[in-house]
Structure 1
Amino acid sequence: MKSEYVVIGLGRFGMSVAKTLIQNGHEVLAIDKDEHTVQEISSDATYAVQIDSTDEMALEQLGIHKYAHAIVGIGEDLQASILTTLLLKEMEVGRITAKAKDEHHGKVLSKIGATMLSFQNEIWGNG
């Protein structure tokens, strides 16, 4: 079954997850604040957009609420990770998987709406 995913934060983790989803035939909206990173995946992803994921208006304009599953791959910028996860929850995205830097970060993400956590030492995808 083909699904639509949004992957936010295209570091090693996010890029690996996005590429694996694409290889498995899923549609992917890839988001990152870095233009070079967005260009890198733009030929493979269904959509690739450079925005600040903490910008609520930008997320709304992309129709984020239509996606059933969002993966937040932001790990180092805790504030951006937490705010992005909170915005996705408020926009009623069905499932939110978030990358957590450590156990404390994971607890915060769970309390604000992440339905699944991935810790930095876990490996997803093929990368």
Structure 2
Amino acid sequence: MESRMPKRRPFHRLPVFPVLLAQLIVLLLAALVAWQALGSVAGYSALLGGVIAWLPNLYFAHKAFRFSGARAAKDIVRSFYAGEAGKLILTFVLFALTFAGVQPLEAPVLFGVYLLTLLVSWFAPLLITKFSRP
């Protein structure tokens, strides 16, 4: 019996890649708007809030969607659990490091862009599906 490696997709070919790209664009635009409207502290607070939401999602996407095919079903389930656990831990660590190490910080802006970035992941699939149809 031969041991086969499960089929892996390149990261840019994952179905979640457009959502991650949309999140990155929104977080960068929100940080730029906050920087221009509210000042530099709000700008980097917004950037940190977006990155705190985006990096764990990037990690989850890497872990959860790296396998495909029916033969890799157990690996897919295992990687989803590992990805979600890692995402939660990474989110906690990034928030802790930000609040412990970054001063001054505008917490309302940080949490606002964090939530905005998470909202993009809820609505981006609808937009991407709508605009990708011929």
Shared fold by TM > 0.5? no
Query: Which structure shows the bigger proportion of residues in helix conformation?
Result: 2
TM-score normalised by the chain length of structure 2:
0.30
Query: Which structure shows the bigger proportion of residues in strand conformation?
Result: 1
Larger RCO, structure (CA 8 Å, separation 6 or more): 2
TM-score normalised by the chain length of structure 1:
0.31
